[in-house]
Amino acid sequence: MAQHVFELDRQTREDLSIFPNNTNDQSILSLFDHTATIGGKEKLRDIFHAPLTDAAQIEQRINAIKYFQNTDTTFKPDRIACDCIEYYLKLAQKPTSVSKIKAIERRAMHFIFNNDNDFYTITRGINYTLTLLKDLLSFSADTANDNLPALLQSFQSTINNTLKHPDFSLVKSLSEKQKLSAIDIAKADHLFRYQGYERMKLLLDIVYQLDIFITVSNRAKQLGFCLPVINKSAGQVLNLKGLFHPFIKNPIDNDIDFNPTKNICFVTGANMAGKSSFLKSVAVSVFLSQLGFPVPAAYMETSVFDGLITTINLADNVNQGNSHFYTEVSRVKHVATQMHQSQNMLVIFDELFRGTNVKDAYDASLSIITAFSKLKKGFFMISTHIVEVAHDLIDIENINFKYMESIFENDMPKYSYKLMNGITEERLGMWIVKNEGIVEIIERLIVKQ
């Protein structure tokens, strides 16, 4: 049975800065992009492109990372070695199985009596390969008595089965030699680039995964991230404590909890109070949890989602001649359509219907949120600048009303960036306009006429 593909569209990836783009190098990927090897770097990007939807697979990654958090390992992937091995394995004119012994003899003589441009690359590649295999065997031996998580057990098994395979019987004797003869090199080359080529690629893939898990475990400690707890019960759960946005320096943390009886979080708050950053931090945590990666929180318990859709930094579709409001409506329609395919999703709308007049925004917001509130599957987070909508939704039991606190001190707004229970009446739009002295600037222009 094919695994369900996690729904994560381009708008959501851009809202959350999952990947670097032309205008911003800061990304969620960059937080973990510290692998030792290029292969690890490429595989890390592949992982970010393919969030998981299977709880067992997610837990396998979590447990592998947790192992390296709690255990010092002597295995250190070497970038230069892996690059040389990759380059060596990809060389053209691979040895063949035809007349194996004669081919080995001919290649040995060729190395001795000809100025072969590939000789240095092949010799170097073989030496690095022998060292890597020795290191992998040491890793397997060092962890033999450990209570390894399932994924690392599978790696250990693959390493052992490969190096104990009859095809790889010569590896041990070659590893013990101070210097390889031409015939040794020819035999090793035949093994690594022909006979055992697929097994070598599989072992390299294990190296890259170990590189990622070791790197991510270290980065989690440095960033103050925690590993999520996957809840596999029938009811959906999302519980975050000490949640923060990883891009904010000295962030204020918050708690949030979703369950089937409170599956909608309605957030109000003044401009610059921190609503958008809070919404993003929840979405980022859910995304990372679906990778089996650490999240920016002190604690996270979550069920597995089928998708994540955000509408935070929605741009006008100028090329198609659509207004911002029409683009917003199209986005809501897209969400509704996706919910038909899978209701086990987290959906986030920041400042819903900001692209139209207050009356239409009020009516549209009230209508859409009321409709979404009737869905008992999936979690929703919605922020709005229209406080009146919140008051008209107050009797809907599955809506959890929250606000980002802001207060005035000495006629100046002060933001705590703390999430509070209830609905705020605080509005700072006109204060900002007055504080900037815009009206006075215009009046001075009138005087000059």
Q: What is the pLDDT of residues 195-237, one digit of tens each?
A: 999 999 999 999 999 999 999 999 999 999 999 999 998 789 9
Evaluate whether 374 touches 341 at the Cβ level (below 8 Å).
no
The three-class DSSP label of residue 449 is coil
250 contacts: CB under 8 Å, gap ≥ 6: none
Give exposure, 399-425, as e/b (b: 16+ Cβ within 10 Å). bbbbbbbbeeeeeebebebbbeeebbe
121 vs 98: CA distance, rounded Å = 23
Q: Which segment of 26-35, 139-148, 308-317 scores lowest on mean pLDDT?
A: 308-317
Residue 1: which pLDDT band, with cuts at 50, 70 and 90? very low
Residue 240's closest CA among 292, 284, 198? 284
Supply the angle between the helices 55-70 and 275-291 in degrees, to the nearest 10: 90
pTM for the full predicted model: 0.91
Contacts of 310 (CB under 8 A, 6+ apart): 11, 12, 15, 16, 279, 280, 283, 347, 348, 349, 350
What are the tens digits of pLDDT across the range 290-305? 999 999 999 999 999 9
Band (320; pLDDT cuts 50, 70, 90): low
- Domains within the chain, CATH numbers bracketed: 33-223 (1.10.1420.10), 229-448 (3.40.50.300)
Which residues on adjacent β-strands are paired with residue 402? 267, 421
240-275 pLDDT tens trace: 999 999 999 999 999 999 999 999 999 998 878 899
What's the pLDDT score for residue 105?
63
